[in-house]
Amino acid sequence: MIEKYVSSERLAAYMSYARGDKWVAVRLYERNTEISEALYGVIQALEVTLRNAIHRCLSKALGSDQWYETFSLEESERNAVDEAKTKVMERPAPLTPGRIVAELKLGFWVRLFSHAYDKTLWVPYLREIFPLKLNNSRTLIHGRLMDLKTLRNRIAHHDRITCGKRDPEKDYAAIMDTIGWINKSMRDWVLSTNCFRERFDKRLPKKTKPVAEPATVSPAK
């Protein structure tokens, strides 16, 4: 019954990892969901920390909390800002910098660390967000953020992050490390409030006899 609604295609990778044992495959699928939930909350903390650090940095450097209006953004980022404004006004809600910043997606913030903004944003401004040892490592930071954005998207689309090429434990460490690059106190707070470690360390339950599906009741004639 579970396979019917989850789909055999989605369970296929878990079945392979479980060597054909459907009970184990379903437990692995459930574990993927639990770990995805735990990681999503940590990624949320990273996204909020990153965007607010950038917003604060550029507001101060460019002399306005509407820096996205005066700075010469690339077309894709300009379109993202326009889309964010539209979404805020559709609520409807006042068009404040805080609301626009919150509406911009993670991809927008990650692209600000791309090569296109190396001379205009990274060198004069954004490098200050990170500790001195990373001041000359835009490509490292951009690569890390790109990888974590991919992880975020996989989780958001209910894709598999376990039983495959990704290592959730390393992903968790990378997220926490990146938050710490920006602010150690924020990292410590997220470390003390998330449930990833507890869920990741939980063992799979012992195999038990599966519950039989309820019999179909024929309608009364």
In a domain, 124, yes or no: yes
Q: Residue for token digits 């689309």?
A: 157
In a domain, 101, yes or no: yes
Domain encompassing residue 161: 2-199
Check: CB of residue 200 under 8 Å from CB of residue 38: yes
Rounded to whole angstroms, the Cα distance separating 69 from 60 reads: 14
Write out pLDDT tens, residues 94-117. 999 999 999 999 999 999 999 999
In a domain, 207, yes or no: no
In a domain, 210, yes or no: no
Write out pLDDT tens, residues 108-152. 999 999 999 999 999 999 999 998 777 779 999 999 999 999 999
Angle CA 43–167–196, to nearest 5:
45
- Res 13 pLDDT > 50: yes
In a domain, 23, yes or no: yes
Query: How far lies 76's CA from each of 81, 82, 114, 138, in Å?
Result: 9, 10, 12, 20
Rounded to whole angstroms, the Cα distance separating 19 from 193 reads: 36
The CA R_g of the chain, rounded to the nearest whole Å, is 22
In a domain, 137, yes or no: yes
- Total structural domains within the chain: 1
